[in-house]
Amino acid sequence: MPTAGLYNAADTLITGNISRGNAQRTAVIDAAGSYTYADLAQRVSRFANTLERSGIQMEQRVVLCLHDSVDFPTCFLGAIKAGVVPVPANTLLTPQDYEYLLADSRARALVVSAALLDRFRPILGTARYLRKIFVAGAETHEYESLEAAMDKAGDNHVAADTRPDDVAFWLYTSGTTGRPKAAMHVHTSLAETARCFGQGVLGIHAGDIIFSAAKLFFAYGLGNALTFPFSVGATTVLLAGRPTPEAVIAILRNYRPTVFFGVPTLYAMMLNEDLVPEPEGSRLRLCVSAGEALPEALFLRWLKRTGMEIVDAVGSTEMLHMFMSNRPGEARAGSSGKPLQGFEAQILDENGRQVPDGEVGDLFVKGPTCAVGYWNQRELSRQTFRGDWVRTGDKFARNDDGGYRHCGRGDDLLKVGGIYVSPTEVENALLLHDAVAEAAVVGSKDADGLVKPKAFVVLAAGIAPAQALEQELITHVRHQLAEYKRPRWIEFIGELPKTATGKIQRFKLRQSQ
């Protein structure tokens, strides 16, 4: 990778394919059709010109709240090519969440899918930094459509004078307070994830067709469905809607991808509904999992039913993608594998000393894809980014063979379907209900061994426990927060276990299950 001079990540991914003779290869397939690398290069340049014509300057931010379609790589890479910083937003959030993201990022522009525009309308009046709004996928009388804006822009664009260590994009990740924080990544990190994992572990090549159920706004999905295929001239298939088992199996049957990226929750759902890829007519050579711990039993069920192993890997938003993985053909049930080439891992106790093999401790990693820090979060940056090392917040143990085993989170965060959920945020939502006096949320495993939120609730005086009230509280949370954050179970108890200083002892609630 270059260490001096000019370097632009988007120019490298897109122009590199043109110069390698991939102009007419299919880059993207979505619900609207297919697009060659020449088509994508033109769209990327047009969006870069659109931003410049709109007065958006280098290093200013553009929030992208887009369903997975060709518009996402167009805008993400177009912004980077122009030296503007794209900030992908989770499409499952509430208006209040988006209000925070726009304010925190001080975004000057917003690109939003038409189907998501209603979630922004209530809060756009408070977005004081916002200067331009583009709506993708439909014409509106209020805001300029993305396609109309790009139609006015030129087909050619010279990449901005960015350098390898310039910040290229942000990715928001949740914290223990529920307030997300933006991890800032530099231009070279995209290509490094492709080199170290996409090619180095998975062997992705130009002949691959890739489908990622994880969405592009996630660090996991961004690498799977954008960086990896574009780094070698492969094809990515994008699904705009929810990755239900029915939708996923339709993609697998209709487009016959060779590499499939999922999360444990989805693999379990596909098995439970018996919607899995069959050997006949399938071209799948790899099934990959990340985002949450893969239960050993689920690995074995998938292997027995499909004859294919699941290559389980571990990554984080702070590290942009994977830093540890099983290797194809050598995947082991219950193992997170070993660090990727170019990455290192160590497990430390609470005093910062390395623990012996077999003992549980805090996992620290280092490698070439590490974020430079969190935007405007100095103390959190200091806690997480410690010299070359990154504190992951996960508990791990190292096996005698050098492999690593996930042992849970070091804080109270839950990983639900591959997305972080803050117990505090769910508790605060419950406390807005008049029937709730106190609440505590912990992770509880479902029948497939996957962690989901469970709430312990102390009711207000005079309120009696009832099944109808349980459903009422779950519905209440669904109206307050994103759907995936809702508790799956509620248990009514007389009092919450607490320390002498009044702090809730969640570990006792976990132990009581």
DSSP letters for 264-309:
HHHHHHHHHTT----STT----EEEE-SS---HHHHHHHHHHHS--
Q: Do residues 107 and 129 make contact, with C-beta atoms less than 8 angstroms apart? A: yes
pLDDT, residue 265, reads 86
In this structure, of 35-44, 336-345, 404-413, 501-510, the range with the lowest mean pLDDT score is: 501-510
Report if residue 476 sits inside a domain.
Answer: yes
Report if residue 499 sits inside a domain.
Answer: yes
pLDDT, residue 249, reads 98
Mean pLDDT of 3-31: 93
Task: Say how many domains are in the chain.
Answer: 1
User: How does residue 512 score in pLDDT terms, banded at 50, 70 and 90?
Assistant: confident
Report if residue 199 sits inside a domain.
Answer: no
Using one digit for the tens of pLDDT, what is the confidence trace for 127-137?
999 999 999 99
pLDDT, residue 60, reads 99
**Quick check: 5 pLDDT over 60?**
yes
Mean pLDDT of 234-258: 98
Taking CA atoms, 243 is separated from 87, 89, 110, 262, 353, in Å, by 22, 18, 25, 9, 42
In 380-447, at which residue ranges do the beta strands (DSSP E only) sit? 385-386, 389-398, 404-409, 414-416, 419-421, 436-445
pLDDT, residue 420, reads 78
- Average pLDDT over the chain, rounded to whole? 93
In 43-83, at which residue ranges do the beta strands (DSSP E only) sit? 61-65
> pLDDT over 90 for what percent of the chain?
79
The single-letter DSSP state of residue 445 is E
Q: Which of 3-17, 84-98, 399-413 has the highest mean pLDDT?
A: 84-98
**Quick check: 424 pLDDT over 80?**
no
Q: Which has more confidence, 111 or 178? A: 111
Report if residue 437 sits inside a domain.
Answer: yes
Report if residue 271 sits inside a domain.
Answer: no
411: left (phi over 0), alpha (psi -120 to 50) or beta: beta
**Quick check: 279 pLDDT over 90?**
no
Q: Tokens 């989770």 — which residue?
A: 90
Using one digit for the tens of pLDDT, what is the confidence trace for 337-366?
999 999 999 999 889 999 999 888 899 999
pLDDT, residue 350, reads 84
Mean pLDDT of 242-270: 96
Mean pLDDT of 211-227: 98
User: How does residue 419 score in pLDDT terms, banded at 50, 70 and 90?
Assistant: confident
pLDDT, residue 175, reads 61
- Counting Cα atoms < 13 Å in the Cβ hemisphere of 23 gives 6
Report if residue 311 sits inside a domain.
Answer: no
**Quick check: 281 pLDDT over 90?**
no
Q: What is the CATH number of the domain that holds 496?
A: 3.30.300.30
**Within 10 A of 388 (CB to CB), how many other CB atoms are there?**
11
Burial class (CB in 10 A: 0-12, 13-18, 19+), 378: exposed
User: How does residue 116 score in pLDDT terms, banded at 50, 70 and 90?
Assistant: very high
**Quick check: 153 pLDDT over 60?**
yes
Report if residue 243 sits inside a domain.
Answer: no
User: How does residue 297 score in pLDDT terms, banded at 50, 70 and 90?
Assistant: confident
Using one digit for the tens of pLDDT, what is the confidence trace for 162-198?
999 999 999 999 765 558 999 999 999 999 999 999 9
**Quick check: 1 pLDDT over 50?**
no
Question: Whole-prediction pTM value?
Answer: 0.86
The domain of 497 spans 422-511
State the Rg of the chain over Cα.
Answer: 23
> CA-to-CA distance for 2 and 429, rounded, in angstroms?
48
User: How does residue 500 score in pLDDT terms, banded at 50, 70 and 90?
Assistant: low
**Quick check: 48 pLDDT over 70?**
yes
User: How does residue 414 score in pLDDT terms, banded at 50, 70 and 90?
Assistant: confident
**Quick check: 77 pLDDT over 60?**
yes
pLDDT, residue 139, reads 86
pLDDT, residue 2, reads 46
pLDDT, residue 503, reads 60
Report if residue 325 sits inside a domain.
Answer: no
